Amino acid sequence: MKLLKILLVIHFLSCNILAFCFPILYSFSILPRKESIYHLIFLILPLIYIFFPLNGKLSSKKIICSKILASIIYLFIYFNIPINNFWGILCIVCITTSILYLYFPIKINKNIYLKYFFRLILCIFFIGISIFNLIIPSTIFITQFREANQSYISYINIMPIIKYAITTKNEYDEKISPYMSEKIFKDLNQKVHYPKLDHFGTIKLTELHQKQDENDSRIIYVDIRYIKSLEDKHNNHISGGQGYQQFTVLIKNNDWYIINLVEPLTSYQFWK
In terms of pLDDT, which residue wins out, 169 or 147?
169
> Does the pLDDT at position 193 exceed 80?
yes
What is the rounded average pLDDT of the residues 171-175?
A: 92
| pLDDT given at position 242 | 84
Dihedral sign, Cα of residue 115, residue 87, residue 5, residue 100: negative
Q: Is the pLDDT of residue 267 over 60?
A: no
pLDDT at position 268: 47
Residues 229-248 have pLDDT tens digits of 999 999 888 888 888 999 99
Q: How many angstroms separate the CA atoms of 186 and 191, rounded? A: 9
- Going 236 to 238 to 244 to 245, the CA torsion angle's sign is negative
Q: Is the pLDDT of residue 271 over 50?
A: no
Which tens digits make up the pLDDT trace of 72-130?
Answer: 999 989 988 766 778 888 888 899 999 888 888 776 666 788 889 999 999 999 999 99
pLDDT higher than threshold 60 for residue 269: no
* Rounded average pLDDT over 148-176: 92
Distance CA 117, CA 97 (A): 11
pLDDT at 168 over 80: yes
State the CB neighbour count (10 A cutoff) for residue 20.
17
Q: Which domains does the chain have, with CATH numbers?
A: 2-148 (no CATH), 159-262 (3.10.450)
Phi and psi dihedrals of 26, rounded to 5? -95, 25
Residues 6+ apart with CB under 8 A from 96: 72, 75
In this structure, of 10-14, 57-61, 176-180, the range with the lowest mean pLDDT score is: 57-61
In this prediction, residues 189-194 reach a mean pLDDT of 94
Q: Tell me the average pLDDT of the chain.
A: 87
